[in-house]
Structure 1
Protein backbone atom coordinates (compact mmCIF):
# COMPACT_ATOMS: atom_id res chain seq x y z
CA UNK A 1 0.00 0.00 0.00
CA UNK A 2 2.81 2.40 0.92
CA UNK A 3 4.66 1.43 -2.20
CA UNK A 4 1.76 2.50 -4.44
CA UNK A 5 1.43 5.83 -2.64
CA UNK A 6 5.15 6.50 -3.00
CA UNK A 7 5.01 5.54 -6.70
CA UNK A 8 2.01 7.80 -7.36
CA UNK A 9 3.60 10.71 -5.49
CA UNK A 10 6.93 10.35 -7.29
CA UNK A 11 5.17 10.18 -10.68
CA UNK A 12 3.24 13.36 -9.90
CA UNK A 13 6.41 15.14 -8.81
CA UNK A 14 8.30 14.07 -11.93
CA UNK A 15 5.51 15.25 -14.21
CA UNK A 16 5.34 18.58 -12.40
CA UNK A 17 9.11 19.03 -12.52
CA UNK A 18 9.38 18.40 -16.27
CA UNK A 19 6.85 21.14 -17.12
CA UNK A 20 3.96 18.85 -18.09
CA UNK A 21 0.68 20.72 -18.19
CA UNK A 22 -2.82 19.68 -19.27
CA UNK A 23 -4.14 21.60 -22.27
CA UNK A 24 -7.43 22.75 -20.77
CA UNK A 25 -11.07 21.71 -20.82
CA UNK A 26 -11.67 22.27 -24.53
CA UNK A 27 -8.68 20.26 -25.72
CA UNK A 28 -6.33 23.01 -26.84
CA UNK A 29 -4.05 25.57 -25.31
CA UNK A 30 -5.02 29.20 -25.03
CA UNK A 31 -5.40 31.35 -28.11
CA UNK A 32 -2.62 33.87 -28.78
CA UNK A 33 -5.07 36.81 -28.85
CA UNK A 34 -6.86 38.78 -26.14
CA UNK A 35 -9.87 39.60 -28.35
CA UNK A 36 -11.38 37.78 -31.33
CA UNK A 37 -14.20 38.59 -33.73
CA UNK A 38 -15.98 35.69 -35.43
CA UNK A 39 -17.19 36.48 -38.94
CA UNK A 40 -20.36 34.39 -39.07
CA UNK A 41 -24.03 35.12 -38.59
CA UNK A 42 -25.12 35.30 -34.95
CA UNK A 43 -27.43 32.32 -35.53
CA UNK A 44 -24.88 30.15 -37.34
CA UNK A 45 -24.44 26.85 -35.45
CA UNK A 46 -20.74 26.84 -36.34
CA UNK A 47 -20.32 30.41 -35.09
CA UNK A 48 -22.21 29.67 -31.88
CA UNK A 49 -20.00 26.68 -31.13
CA UNK A 50 -16.81 28.62 -31.95
CA UNK A 51 -17.88 31.43 -29.59
CA UNK A 52 -18.69 28.96 -26.83
CA UNK A 53 -15.34 27.17 -27.06
CA UNK A 54 -13.34 30.40 -27.21
CA UNK A 55 -15.16 31.80 -24.17
CA UNK A 56 -14.48 28.53 -22.34
CA UNK A 57 -10.74 28.84 -23.04
CA UNK A 58 -10.72 31.68 -20.53
CA UNK A 59 -8.07 34.13 -21.75
CA UNK A 60 -9.68 35.28 -25.01
CA UNK A 61 -12.77 37.48 -25.25
CA UNK A 62 -15.16 37.32 -28.20
CA UNK A 63 -16.13 40.83 -29.28
CA UNK A 64 -19.06 41.96 -31.42
CA UNK A 65 -17.18 44.78 -33.15
CA UNK A 66 -14.52 43.82 -35.68
CA UNK A 67 -12.59 47.04 -34.94
CA UNK A 68 -12.01 46.00 -31.31
CA UNK A 69 -10.57 42.58 -32.16
CA UNK A 70 -6.91 41.62 -32.39
CA UNK A 71 -7.89 38.83 -34.78
CA UNK A 72 -10.88 37.94 -36.94
CA UNK A 73 -11.91 34.41 -37.81
CA UNK A 74 -13.69 34.58 -41.15
CA UNK A 75 -15.71 31.57 -42.26
CA UNK A 76 -15.52 31.83 -46.03
CA UNK A 77 -17.59 28.76 -46.89
CA UNK A 78 -19.51 26.07 -45.05
CA UNK A 79 -21.18 23.19 -46.89
CA UNK A 80 -22.83 19.86 -46.18
CA UNK A 81 -22.85 17.25 -48.91
CA UNK A 82 -24.36 13.80 -49.25
CA UNK A 83 -23.18 11.29 -51.84
CA UNK A 84 -24.26 7.74 -52.62
CA UNK A 85 -21.64 5.26 -51.47
CA UNK A 86 -23.10 1.82 -52.28
CA UNK A 87 -26.20 0.26 -53.86
CA UNK A 88 -27.86 -3.08 -53.18
CA UNK A 89 -28.70 -5.67 -55.86
CA UNK A 90 -32.05 -3.95 -56.59
CA UNK A 91 -30.27 -0.63 -57.26
CA UNK A 92 -31.43 0.96 -54.00
CA UNK A 93 -29.09 2.98 -51.83
CA UNK A 94 -27.43 1.06 -48.98
CA UNK A 95 -24.91 3.63 -47.77
CA UNK A 96 -24.22 7.34 -48.03
CA UNK A 97 -21.09 9.39 -47.52
CA UNK A 98 -21.63 12.63 -45.62
CA UNK A 99 -19.17 15.48 -46.14
CA UNK A 100 -18.79 18.62 -44.07
CA UNK A 101 -16.57 21.32 -45.61
CA UNK A 102 -15.49 24.53 -43.93
CA UNK A 103 -13.15 27.10 -45.41
CA UNK A 104 -11.84 29.82 -43.08
CA UNK A 105 -9.03 32.29 -42.59
CA UNK A 106 -7.67 34.43 -39.78
CA UNK A 107 -6.74 38.09 -40.19
CA UNK A 108 -5.40 40.65 -37.74
CA UNK A 109 -6.72 44.14 -36.97
CA UNK A 110 -4.83 45.54 -40.01
CA UNK A 111 -6.40 42.93 -42.34
CA UNK A 112 -3.10 41.09 -42.72
CA UNK A 113 -3.54 37.33 -43.10
CA UNK A 114 -2.33 35.39 -40.09
CA UNK A 115 -3.67 32.12 -41.47
CA UNK A 116 -4.29 31.73 -45.20
CA UNK A 117 -7.65 30.36 -46.38
CA UNK A 118 -7.77 26.79 -45.13
CA UNK A 119 -10.35 24.17 -46.06
CA UNK A 120 -11.23 21.40 -43.64
CA UNK A 121 -13.15 18.42 -45.00
CA UNK A 122 -14.62 15.70 -42.82
CA UNK A 123 -16.32 12.55 -44.06
CA UNK A 124 -18.59 10.03 -42.36
CA UNK A 125 -20.29 6.99 -43.87
CA UNK A 126 -23.84 6.08 -42.89
CA UNK A 127 -25.94 3.04 -43.77
CA UNK A 128 -29.47 3.53 -45.09
CA UNK A 129 -32.59 1.45 -44.57
CA UNK A 130 -35.91 2.40 -46.17
CA UNK A 131 -37.85 1.00 -43.23
CA UNK A 132 -36.03 3.32 -40.78
CA UNK A 133 -36.08 6.64 -42.62
CA UNK A 134 -36.75 8.87 -39.58
CA UNK A 135 -34.11 7.16 -37.46
CA UNK A 136 -31.55 7.47 -40.26
CA UNK A 137 -32.36 11.19 -40.69
CA UNK A 138 -31.73 11.71 -36.95
CA UNK A 139 -28.48 9.76 -37.20
CA UNK A 140 -27.43 11.94 -40.13
CA UNK A 141 -28.13 15.12 -38.12
CA UNK A 142 -26.11 13.71 -35.23
CA UNK A 143 -23.17 12.93 -37.52
CA UNK A 144 -23.21 16.46 -38.97
CA UNK A 145 -23.21 17.92 -35.42
CA UNK A 146 -20.29 15.66 -34.52
CA UNK A 147 -18.36 16.76 -37.62
CA UNK A 148 -19.07 20.41 -36.76
CA UNK A 149 -17.59 19.90 -33.29
CA UNK A 150 -14.54 18.26 -34.84
CA UNK A 151 -14.10 21.21 -37.21
CA UNK A 152 -14.32 23.69 -34.33
CA UNK A 153 -11.61 21.79 -32.46
CA UNK A 154 -9.39 21.74 -35.57
CA UNK A 155 -9.89 25.46 -36.16
CA UNK A 156 -8.97 26.28 -32.57
CA UNK A 157 -5.88 24.05 -32.66
CA UNK A 158 -4.66 25.78 -35.81
CA UNK A 159 -5.29 29.24 -34.34
CA UNK A 160 -3.58 28.36 -31.05
CA UNK A 161 -0.43 27.48 -33.05
CA UNK A 162 -0.28 31.02 -34.51
CA UNK A 163 2.01 33.73 -33.18
CA UNK A 164 0.23 36.90 -32.09
Structure 2
Protein backbone atom coordinates (compact mmCIF):
# COMPACT_ATOMS: atom_id res chain seq x y z
CA UNK A 1 0.00 0.00 0.00
CA UNK A 2 2.86 2.38 0.85
CA UNK A 3 4.52 1.91 -2.57
CA UNK A 4 1.38 2.72 -4.52
CA UNK A 5 0.89 5.96 -2.53
CA UNK A 6 4.43 7.06 -3.42
CA UNK A 7 3.82 6.26 -7.07
CA UNK A 8 0.57 8.22 -7.06
CA UNK A 9 2.25 11.23 -5.43
CA UNK A 10 5.15 11.08 -7.92
CA UNK A 11 2.78 10.90 -10.88
CA UNK A 12 0.68 13.73 -9.47
CA UNK A 13 3.75 15.96 -9.06
CA UNK A 14 4.90 15.13 -12.62
CA UNK A 15 1.44 16.02 -13.93
CA UNK A 16 1.42 19.33 -12.06
CA UNK A 17 4.88 20.27 -13.39
CA UNK A 18 3.94 19.47 -16.98
CA UNK A 19 0.64 21.33 -16.70
CA UNK A 20 2.25 24.58 -15.55
CA UNK A 21 4.41 24.80 -18.67
CA UNK A 22 7.72 24.29 -16.89
CA UNK A 23 10.56 23.31 -19.22
CA UNK A 24 14.26 22.76 -18.94
CA UNK A 25 16.24 25.82 -19.92
CA UNK A 26 17.20 25.73 -23.59
CA UNK A 27 14.32 23.48 -24.64
CA UNK A 28 12.52 24.84 -27.67
CA UNK A 29 9.24 23.93 -29.31
CA UNK A 30 9.21 23.01 -32.99
CA UNK A 31 7.88 25.86 -35.17
CA UNK A 32 5.25 24.75 -37.71
CA UNK A 33 7.19 26.45 -40.53
CA UNK A 34 9.51 25.28 -43.27
CA UNK A 35 11.09 28.66 -43.98
CA UNK A 36 11.34 32.11 -42.40
CA UNK A 37 12.84 35.44 -43.40
CA UNK A 38 14.43 37.47 -40.61
CA UNK A 39 14.22 41.21 -41.08
CA UNK A 40 15.65 43.98 -38.93
CA UNK A 41 17.73 41.99 -36.43
CA UNK A 42 21.23 42.88 -35.30
CA UNK A 43 23.97 40.70 -36.70
CA UNK A 44 24.50 38.82 -33.42
CA UNK A 45 20.78 38.12 -32.96
CA UNK A 46 20.39 37.13 -36.61
CA UNK A 47 23.21 34.57 -36.48
CA UNK A 48 21.99 33.15 -33.18
CA UNK A 49 18.42 32.88 -34.52
CA UNK A 50 19.54 31.28 -37.78
CA UNK A 51 21.60 28.67 -35.92
CA UNK A 52 18.74 27.76 -33.57
CA UNK A 53 16.11 27.72 -36.32
CA UNK A 54 18.32 25.48 -38.46
CA UNK A 55 18.51 23.02 -35.55
CA UNK A 56 14.70 23.05 -35.55
CA UNK A 57 14.54 22.31 -39.29
CA UNK A 58 13.47 25.83 -40.33
CA UNK A 59 15.39 27.32 -43.26
CA UNK A 60 16.07 31.04 -43.18
CA UNK A 61 16.30 32.86 -46.49
CA UNK A 62 14.96 36.01 -48.16
CA UNK A 63 12.17 34.34 -50.15
CA UNK A 64 10.06 32.88 -47.35
CA UNK A 65 6.32 33.64 -47.28
CA UNK A 66 6.74 34.60 -43.59
CA UNK A 67 8.69 37.57 -42.27
CA UNK A 68 9.96 37.64 -38.71
CA UNK A 69 10.31 41.39 -38.20
CA UNK A 70 12.51 42.57 -35.36
CA UNK A 71 11.09 46.04 -34.78
CA UNK A 72 13.63 47.06 -32.16
CA UNK A 73 16.36 45.73 -29.90
CA UNK A 74 17.24 47.69 -26.80
CA UNK A 75 20.14 47.16 -24.40
CA UNK A 76 20.21 48.89 -21.05
CA UNK A 77 23.13 48.70 -18.63
CA UNK A 78 22.90 50.20 -15.17
CA UNK A 79 24.63 50.04 -11.82
CA UNK A 80 22.52 48.00 -9.44
CA UNK A 81 24.82 48.07 -6.39
CA UNK A 82 27.83 50.04 -5.15
CA UNK A 83 30.59 49.11 -2.70
CA UNK A 84 31.50 50.97 0.49
CA UNK A 85 33.63 53.43 -1.55
CA UNK A 86 30.74 54.27 -3.85
CA UNK A 87 32.20 52.32 -6.79
CA UNK A 88 30.15 50.12 -9.05
CA UNK A 89 29.92 46.62 -7.49
CA UNK A 90 27.10 45.05 -9.49
CA UNK A 91 25.55 45.80 -12.87
CA UNK A 92 22.25 44.91 -14.42
CA UNK A 93 21.85 44.18 -18.13
CA UNK A 94 18.42 44.40 -19.73
CA UNK A 95 17.80 43.20 -23.25
CA UNK A 96 14.43 44.04 -24.77
CA UNK A 97 13.23 42.78 -28.12
CA UNK A 98 10.14 43.93 -30.05
CA UNK A 99 8.96 41.62 -32.82
CA UNK A 100 6.08 40.38 -34.98
CA UNK A 101 5.47 38.01 -37.87
CA UNK A 102 3.77 39.10 -41.06
CA UNK A 103 2.71 37.54 -44.33
CA UNK A 104 5.05 38.55 -47.17
CA UNK A 105 2.34 38.60 -49.88
CA UNK A 106 -0.43 40.49 -48.13
CA UNK A 107 1.58 42.29 -45.46
CA UNK A 108 -0.97 41.13 -42.88
CA UNK A 109 0.22 40.69 -39.33
CA UNK A 110 0.16 37.03 -38.30
CA UNK A 111 1.07 37.90 -34.72
CA UNK A 112 0.45 41.04 -32.75
CA UNK A 113 3.60 43.05 -32.06
CA UNK A 114 5.14 41.64 -28.90
CA UNK A 115 7.93 42.41 -26.46
CA UNK A 116 10.40 40.05 -24.85
CA UNK A 117 12.69 41.16 -22.02
CA UNK A 118 15.56 39.38 -20.30
CA UNK A 119 17.47 40.69 -17.30
CA UNK A 120 20.75 39.54 -15.79
CA UNK A 121 22.71 40.89 -12.85
CA UNK A 122 26.43 40.30 -12.48
CA UNK A 123 29.15 41.38 -10.08
CA UNK A 124 31.56 44.10 -11.17
CA UNK A 125 35.07 44.25 -9.79
CA UNK A 126 36.59 47.75 -10.18
CA UNK A 127 40.09 46.45 -9.43
CA UNK A 128 39.78 43.93 -12.29
CA UNK A 129 37.87 45.75 -15.00
CA UNK A 130 39.18 43.53 -17.81
CA UNK A 131 37.82 40.33 -16.26
CA UNK A 132 34.55 42.08 -15.40
CA UNK A 133 34.24 43.30 -18.98
CA UNK A 134 34.87 39.78 -20.30
CA UNK A 135 32.22 38.43 -17.95
CA UNK A 136 29.78 41.08 -19.18
CA UNK A 137 30.39 39.92 -22.77
CA UNK A 138 29.63 36.32 -21.74
CA UNK A 139 26.42 37.42 -20.03
CA UNK A 140 25.39 39.35 -23.17
CA UNK A 141 25.97 36.18 -25.23
CA UNK A 142 23.84 34.26 -22.71
CA UNK A 143 21.08 36.85 -23.07
CA UNK A 144 21.13 36.46 -26.87
CA UNK A 145 20.81 32.67 -26.48
CA UNK A 146 18.02 33.00 -23.92
CA UNK A 147 16.11 35.52 -26.03
CA UNK A 148 16.48 33.33 -29.12
CA UNK A 149 15.05 30.28 -27.35
CA UNK A 150 12.15 32.30 -25.96
CA UNK A 151 11.46 33.87 -29.36
CA UNK A 152 11.47 30.49 -31.14
CA UNK A 153 9.06 29.13 -28.53
CA UNK A 154 6.71 32.06 -29.19
CA UNK A 155 7.05 31.59 -32.95
CA UNK A 156 6.24 27.87 -32.51
CA UNK A 157 3.14 28.71 -30.48
CA UNK A 158 2.01 31.34 -32.98
CA UNK A 159 2.64 29.12 -36.02
CA UNK A 160 0.21 26.53 -34.63
CA UNK A 161 -2.61 29.08 -35.02
CA UNK A 162 -2.37 29.72 -38.74
CA UNK A 163 -2.17 27.39 -41.72
CA UNK A 164 1.37 27.54 -43.20
CA UNK A 165 1.76 27.69 -46.98
TM-score bin, normalised by smaller chain = 0.7 to 0.9
* Cross-structure match for 1:61: 59
Length-normalised TM-score, structure 1: 0.76
* Cross-structure match for 1:138: 134
Counterpart check, 1:79 vs 2:74? yes
- Give the SS at the match of 1:115: coil
Query: How far apart are 1:37 and its partner, in Å?
Result: 0.4
Do the aligned partners of 2:87 and 2:126 also contact (CA within 8 Å) in 1? no
CA distance in 2, matches of 1:88, 1:137: 18
Do the aligned partners of 1:34 and 1:70 also contact (CA within 8 Å) in 2? no
Query: How far apart are 1:135 and its partner, in Å?
Result: 0.4
Q: Deviations over 1:68-110 (max 9, x none)?
A: 3121111111122111111222211111111111111111222
Counterpart check, 1:89 vs 2:79? no
CA distance in 2, matches of 1:76, 1:143: 23
* Cross-structure match for 1:112: 108
Length-normalised TM-score, structure 2: 0.75
Do the aligned partners of 2:30 and 2:153 also contact (CA within 8 Å) in 1? no
Which sections of structure 2, spanning at least 5 residues, go unmatched?
1-25
* Cross-structure match for 1:32: 32
- Number of aligned residue pairs: give it: 135
- Give the SS at the match of 1:100: strand
* Cross-structure match for 1:128: 124
Q: Deviations over 1:115-137 (max 9, x none)?
A: 11111111111111111100000
Which sections of structure 1, spanning at least 5 residues, go unmatched?
1-25
